[in-house]
Structure 1
Amino acid sequence: MTTHFRPIDVSGQPALRPSDQPAPVLDWLPIARLVVDDRYQRPLTRAGWQTIRRIAEDFRWSRFSPVLVAPIPGALWAIIDGQHRTHAAAICGHDQVPCMSVHMDTAEQAQAFAGVNGTVTRITVHHVFKAALAAGESWAMLANRAVSDAGCTLMTYNKSSADKHCGEVFCIALIRQLVTAGHGATVTKVLTALRQIDGDKRTPLYSDYILRPLLTAVASDPRFLRLDLSRILTVQDPFKVLDHQRRALDGLSSKAARDAFVAIFTRMAD
């Protein structure tokens, strides 16, 4: 087994015996026989239809997990989990979807709905980046290159503040936004400057608090890419710049933080 794969290993975990229950049945079921029980299911709001359209516009079976259903009278099946996916499949012209059918009464159906939707493992932006990088998606490759070219690492998982190190970048969404807009050179330029001044001791320099205003400020004017940012940031300590701006304005918005650096870079560029 290669280093890329992990076996299912529960050694060291105490064994549990589940309650007696019927085994599920996996099958392709006709969409015309699938129904939604409004007693416990979510209504289809505008946001719900937007979700359905997003699924349908890039419909792939590789992203379609089996719909959880329960057989009910009338040769029908009540959808427990998957009504958005099923609607999207119908929009795409499919008349059947893969389902996992489990016998349960209405009360257990409602409990199952709450359980499935209440215990979902949240997918973070770091998980999305890791998967996109493995898939070779362009934004992930560009983001990774822009950060690594500065001698830094765009992280595929989060850490507690105490465990973070200099050069570790966690603001995935910000980096993605910048490289998608064509500002990969800005990302590399700013991170290179920070690596030159951090002394491997100033981990907070790579926080969103500093990176967001710095990166967006440099990206706002192509002249700023020609500046010696490491020299400027040595003289104009980023934390002191933002603290001064906060005191001057009795508060600090994202725009005010960016503008503080824009003002400094403009003086240097003129």
Structure 2
Amino acid sequence: MNRCRMAAQALAEIHPGQPTTPKPGVTWIKPTDLLVKAGCQRDLSEASLRPIRRIVERWDWRRFKRPIVAWTEDGLAVIDSQHSAIAAATHPGIDLIPVVVVDAAAQVERAQAFVGHNRDRIAVTAIQMHVPTLAAGIRVAGVGEGV
């Protein structure tokens, strides 16, 4: 398989923003020690429990999305990847998970970060999923000999 190094892109008329907070850190923590503050995260509906069930049933560290968290006066509060954190807390074989710790002590900063994580994303199209799906051996609509 051919691989290319990440390359900077020439983006005309772009003025890079300056970081306003320190670089994040990574730490390992018990998922049950993480906090979710009302008003910053989505409530858990039956629809949101489905992905949690799938994560627990198909646990794979290669697919685990590290939660983005911030220190508050009460402890580490989840900003993004609440479902991953809940799945880890639910899984009986997971005692510690890696989390990315960012500087966002104020609730307004955490809420702004949550909005940014969930609004400023690019959806993966069906065409973009096709080749990796085949490479993974996943049978799609009668194509391939996979799982």
TM-score (norm 2): 0.85
Aligned match of 1:134: 135
| Matched position secondary structure for 1:26 | strand
- Describe the shift of the 1:11–1:44 C-alpha distance in structure 2 as closer, same or farther (beyond 3 A): closer
Deviations along 1:150-179, whole A, 9 cap, x unmatched?
Answer: xxxxxxxxxxxxxxxxxxxxxxxxxxxxxx
Aligned match of 1:29: 29
Q: Counterparts in 2 of 1:137-156, with a 5 A limit?
A: 137=138, 139-140=139-140, 143=143
1:44 and 2:44 correspond:
yes
Aligned match of 2:102: 102
Structure 2: runs of 5 or more not aligned: none
Aligned match of 2:85: 86
**Cα displacement (A) at 1:141:** 9.9
1:118 and 2:116 correspond:
no
Aligned match of 1:69: 69
Letter of the 1:12 partner, please give it: A
Letter of the 1:136 partner, please give it: G
Aligned match of 1:8: 6
Provide the rounded CA distance (Å) in 1 between the counterparts of 2:100 and 2:54.
Answer: 24
Letter of the 1:27 partner, please give it: T
Q: How many residues align structurally?
A: 142
Provide the rounded CA distance (Å) in 1 between the counterparts of 2:19 and 2:130.
Answer: 39
CA RMSD of aligned residues (A): 2.2
Letter of the 1:9 partner, please give it: A
Does the CA-based 8 Å contact 2:137-2:144 persist in structure 1? no
| Matched position secondary structure for 2:143 | helix
Q: Kindly, what percent of the aligned residue pairs are identical?
A: 30
Does the CA-based 8 Å contact 2:32-2:89 persist in structure 1? no
Letter of the 2:71 partner, please give it: P
Does the CA-based 8 Å contact 1:133-1:141 persist in structure 2? no
| Matched position secondary structure for 1:101 | strand
**Cα displacement (A) at 1:12:** 2.1
Provide the rounded CA distance (Å) in 2 between the counterparts of 1:30 and 1:107.
Answer: 25
Provide the rounded CA distance (Å) in 2 between the counterparts of 1:45 and 1:140.
Answer: 29
Greater relative CO (CA pairs within 8 A, separation 6+): 2
- Describe the shift of the 1:92–1:32 C-alpha distance in structure 2 as closer, same or farther (beyond 3 A): closer
**Cα displacement (A) at 1:15:** 6.1
**Cα displacement (A) at 1:128:** 2.4
Q: Counterparts in 2 of 1:202-221, with a 5 A limit?
A: none
Aligned match of 1:190: none
Moved more, 23-32 or 106-115: 23-32
Does the CA-based 8 Å contact 2:26-2:99 persist in structure 1? yes
Provide the rounded CA distance (Å) in 1 between the counterparts of 2:9 and 2:115.
Answer: 30
**Cα displacement (A) at 1:37:** 1.1
Higher helix proportion (structure 1 or 2): 1
Provide the rounded CA distance (Å) in 2 between the counterparts of 1:54 and 1:40.
Answer: 23
TM-score (norm 1): 0.48
Provide the rounded CA distance (Å) in 2 between the counterparts of 1:58 and 1:21.
Answer: 35
| Matched position secondary structure for 1:143 | coil
Structure 1 runs (4+) deviating above 6 angstroms are none
